[in-house]
Amino acid sequence: MKNIQNLHFLTYALIIIGALNWGLVGFFRFDLVAFLFGDMSAFSRIIYSLVGLSAVAEIILNSQKFKFARGYAH
């Protein structure tokens, strides 16, 4: 159970970072990840990929929680 909590914390943190970055892009046309690590550098692409994978992981983890809460888990 501790591993799931750690995964949730990590994915949540990455989603927040991604959301803040998109907010900066939308409001100010400033991509913080590209500024820090280079425009579409290998490291920037890794960050973008981890943010996307974190969103997918959270969708899966939360959908399992909701199914269990509704009594669908067997």
Q: In this predicted model, what pLDDT tens digit does every residue of 1-33 receive, in sequence order?
A: 688 889 889 999 999 999 999 999 999 999 999
User: Per residue in 31-52, pLDDT tens?
Assistant: 999 999 999 999 999 999 999 9
The domains of the chain are located at 2-70
Structure-token pair, residue 1: 């159970």
- Spatial distance between the Cα atoms of 26 and 21, rounded to a whole number of angstroms: 9
Of 9, 11, 8, 34, nearest in space to 21 by CA: 34
Query: What is the pLDDT, as a whole number, of residue 63?
Result: 84
Q: Determine the pLDDT at residue 61.
A: 84
Read off the tokens for 5. Answer: 């909590």
Q: Please, is 33 exposed, middle or buried when counting C-beta atoms within 10 Å of its C-beta (0-12, 13-18, 19+)?
A: buried
Q: What is the pLDDT of residue 68?
A: 59
- The values of phi and psi at residue 31, to 5°, are -95, 105
